[in-house]
Structure 1
């Protein structure tokens, strides 16, 4: 059955939970404007939410004197134990965990730097104890308070103060302070770039070190379909080969990223790897929306994006079923579409589904949950409503705060205090190439997925009816990454609870991006993999680690082998014709 031949859904009156949302009353306009103004002043963060969390913490801690006394006792005990190290001639062993990369430099073992380091670590442990395990404090408020405490502690860390940091002091001595002059020049450059952006208008594209089509996104191919939302790229077979596996691979990237993270330089391009392994590969390239796309929602991205691309690939490959793979929220969209097809068309043209670092259960969305409550979403909604979209830099700032030590303070030290510009690679350059998010789409994702968890609970409506992941009945391959701040692997793993289909779960080293871009030959890579058969009982994440097969190296060959095992035969397929444009297409080049 073709996608466009689905039967009409029952009337909405029979399912009030799937009724369309009511329009915003005209009298609410003033409230929205006030909230939007506050959101601009705070960068989209809710001061009310943070204040309520702080008040809750202070009141609950105020009636827990034993916990306060215990924290002070531990701090005092460690201070007394460390006092011999205050002497310049002391040769006491380190009292802190030297695996902390902030203090990896050998200079931190010298006096007086070790004194400042040890004092900071004691204070950090003290405040951590005061923001954990407080009776009566809600879990969400606890996470917010701990996050805020961590931001202040990172700000006050001795590594961020030039005369307390041995690396900076050593550099200043050897350069006679020239590093500070160079750092000031870097700061002025960055400040000038920031001030050049006009508030209220979409930010222009930054100057990228690696340009799509020139340095990255170089795998040969053609744009074979285009509408107002997507360009569909079909990649040419590897040089000299036109015999490929019959089932093509369609990759659905997230709309919050440029697709070419999966087609970076040739040596770390997943697309090129798949093509050279004998697969016909298609890629969705999302158009970077502006205010005119404010009303594009999940249904729009599902119908005009995923399902249109799937239908096109199915037709172009002579009716072959499709191995579909989704990355991050692209995987969430793919899982939603697959559940809808299972509901309406017995799976449609899908042969299998692969999810890269994609959540389907958002009950524990990791550190992103810090920004997910009704007050925070009302603030962000108002900002997006006034602009029509969420701008890339606005979204990027939230992700930077989640890992401030690596993404903010390490850059401050390197570029402004040491005077050394961080050397960009293709992944860093891609990370600077931000995108915008339509108002309605991002609002629906935050409210329906993150806050309401509607996909996991069977309440998410598509085409007037709810979809359920329990309807999935096709082979699944799911990748989680060990150090993922965006899609924690234990949250990704919860798909085991939502479907009984055959599911191969692979846990790889790395984070949300670097763990997926894990080409063969990349040093230090490793993974665990295990397949849960339909009739097998559930295994907890800890049990998975005990029974999974451990292997060193990239996980890409394991996925290729899985795709081959779920393909039927090889066939002859010609390269795409003239097409609408050469890869990487036009949408990825737009600011």
Structure 2
């Protein structure tokens, strides 16, 4: 008999692979189930209340409708041709017949080859029970057979229009990630063990956290990916010493304090994306690209964009260019006396910098002597999964939503980016936080990722239409201000960094864009993805990078002939940068602001909004 204070003894693994769990405190389990239901009701109320009183509009139905319509077209393709229908049915049936045969073999004690095995890198099925226990092994294999069959249907749907096929592939992957048996208590052995071991206390904690995160999102779920209590901008993030040397309604310009005796004569201007905040390049000191640049003897200026509200509604690419990099160039000239700078643009900040370079080339403005582009697209023909959200219907829907307040909410943009890697950035956190009831560990990069900013209406609409929808920049049809832009007129040296696993700016897309410039381009491919491939300090000795010939032809041929190098690409970039302008001056001439009054300490005020 189990007494009230008996504790679970944990799981055993008998010879037949059957899961056996220790004693359970039935009274505590029942009590916690009741508390979990109560917390679940509070979470549901937190979700429904803002919708009932009109504070939140439920646009989820539009997204579901688009997914259903897209997958309906996929089904129609396979079902309208009897031969294709038979082929699809046969492929699925064959997979399940193999599964049934191997299951019968295991039930009789024979060795059996699995009908489907997960990728060894897939963390969802690493628990031994997924293979040792026949029930969980059957669930796992059935899931893999079904989802791989669905993915194959998309890949072989040659008759579908390319954009529709791309959307179908995206939605199939979203559904596949959502229905994984690893996401649910009844079908995940680790979750069963956790729940029984804690008598359901984990569910109480998890549902309480769910309610808190819905409240934090104002009625929408804001998934916590990091312990936010452990970080504060200006305290243990973005701590490189410097000053705010200029401010307008669109940006603050930061200049950092030199740490070397001499510095490069030509200063460096960094133009980060306005989709997130600049301190991705100034995280903790050991990861900070900005601090590393300062320590290498570079005078660093950085744009810190305002988090826009209704006042920025009518600011487009032209205004962001004039009040961002062009205004920064004016101030850098006044502070340092230099007529040329080097410039870096990251992601959409790199797209803006490229637009600025083309505009300056048309005007005969030569103040930027070299440019570096981090994970930047200027050609959007192969722009990856974000193109799913950039057809005419989606853009019209976004523009309609922006009409209300004059901006696109940062949380919506963050959710879209998370969906690009939902199997890594959504479902593990849903399970860990709200089922296991565990607080996520502190992670500076994910803290920054959640620190999203809004998109001004005119700017965001221009970007979606001119870049993702119409691909006007490399076609020579983008008009900014009074100029039709031509990237071939940009003759300065360009260092083009792509990252191999980038879901936002795929390396092939960056490679094609690199061929659009009119001057010498050094194309470099870094290991890892959109952030980790860029923020990769040499001291960590992580990842690798590839160097090859000048970008021409297709990416696959370039990569096949490229040479792999261990570690960070940062030193290679520094060598390239110094080669462009090697002259140095005493660092005493580069105090932040020069002789002008500064406006406060870095990281400034805009980054904290």
What TM-score does the superposition give when structure 2 sets the normalisation length?
Answer: 0.84
Tell me if 1:264 matches 2:265. Answer: no
TM-aligned CA deviation for residue 228 of structure 1: 0.8
2:128 equivalent in structure 1: 106
- Cα offsets for 1:420-445 (capped at 9, x unmatched): 11112111111111101111000110
TM-aligned CA deviation for residue 130 of structure 1: 2.1
Tell me if 1:42 matches 2:42. Answer: no
2:520 equivalent in structure 1: 502
Distance in structure 1 (CA, Å) of the matches to 2:555 and 2:199: 54
2:425 equivalent in structure 1: 407
1:293 equivalent in structure 2: 312
- Tell whether the 8 Å contact from 1:46 to 1:379 is kept in structure 2 after alignment: no
Supply the RMSD in Å over aligned alpha carbons. Answer: 2.2
Tell me if 1:92 matches 2:112. Answer: yes
Tell me if 1:124 matches 2:137. Answer: no
Gaps of 5+ in 1: 1-36, 199-205
Gaps of 5+ in 2: 1-53, 222-226
Tell me if 1:63 matches 2:86. Answer: no
TM-aligned CA deviation for residue 165 of structure 1: 1.1
Distance in structure 2 (CA, Å) of the matches to 1:574 and 1:143: 50
Distance in structure 1 (CA, Å) of the matches to 2:67 and 2:174: 13
1:378 equivalent in structure 2: 396
Distance in structure 2 (CA, Å) of the matches to 1:188 and 1:287: 30
TM-aligned CA deviation for residue 51 of structure 1: 5.5
Distance in structure 1 (CA, Å) of the matches to 2:73 and 2:210: 38
Distance in structure 1 (CA, Å) of the matches to 2:544 and 2:300: 25
Q: Which moves more between the two structures, 392-401 or 436-445?
A: 392-401
1:546 equivalent in structure 2: 560
1:162 equivalent in structure 2: 185
Distance in structure 1 (CA, Å) of the matches to 2:518 and 2:309: 40
Distance in structure 2 (CA, Å) of the matches to 1:51 and 1:399: 21
Question: Which of 249, 252, 257 in structure 2 is aligned with 1:231?
Answer: 252
Distance in structure 1 (CA, Å) of the matches to 2:287 and 2:523: 22
Call closer, same or farther: CA 1:106–1:60 in 2, change over 3 Å.
same
TM-aligned CA deviation for residue 52 of structure 1: 4.9
TM-aligned CA deviation for residue 182 of structure 1: 2.3
1:279 equivalent in structure 2: 298
TM-aligned CA deviation for residue 209 of structure 1: 3.4
How do 1:6-405 and structure 2 match up within 5 A?
A: 40-42=57-59, 49-50=66-67, 52-86=69-103, 87-88=106-107, 89-94=109-114, 95-99=116-120, 100-111=122-133, 112-195=135-218, 209-238=230-259, 241-345=260-364, 347-405=365-423
TM-aligned CA deviation for residue 374 of structure 1: 0.8
Tell me if 1:575 matches 2:558. Answer: no
Tell me if 1:487 matches 2:505. Answer: yes
Q: SS at 1:480's partner residue?
A: strand
2:440 equivalent in structure 1: 422
TM-aligned CA deviation for residue 45 of structure 1: 5.1
Question: Which of 536, 539, 556 in structure 1 is aligned with 2:570?
Answer: 556
Call closer, same or farther: CA 1:360–1:208 in 2, change over 3 Å.
farther
Higher relative contact order structure (alpha carbons within 8 Å, sequence separation ≥ 6): 1
- Tell whether the 8 Å contact from 2:549 to 2:558 is kept in structure 1 after alignment: no
Distance in structure 1 (CA, Å) of the matches to 2:192 and 2:219: 33
Call closer, same or farther: CA 1:62–1:83 in 2, change over 3 Å.
closer
- Tell whether the 8 Å contact from 1:481 to 1:507 is kept in structure 2 after alignment: yes
Q: Which moves more between the two structures, 137-146 or 177-186?
A: 177-186
Distance in structure 2 (CA, Å) of the matches to 1:402 and 1:96: 24
- Tell whether the 8 Å contact from 1:328 to 1:357 is kept in structure 2 after alignment: yes
TM-aligned CA deviation for residue 260 of structure 1: 0.5
TM-aligned CA deviation for residue 296 of structure 1: 0.6
Call closer, same or farther: CA 1:481–1:69 in 2, change over 3 Å.
same
Distance in structure 2 (CA, Å) of the matches to 1:58 and 1:445: 33
Would you say how many aligned residue pairs link Structure 1 and Structure 2?
539
2:17 equivalent in structure 1: none
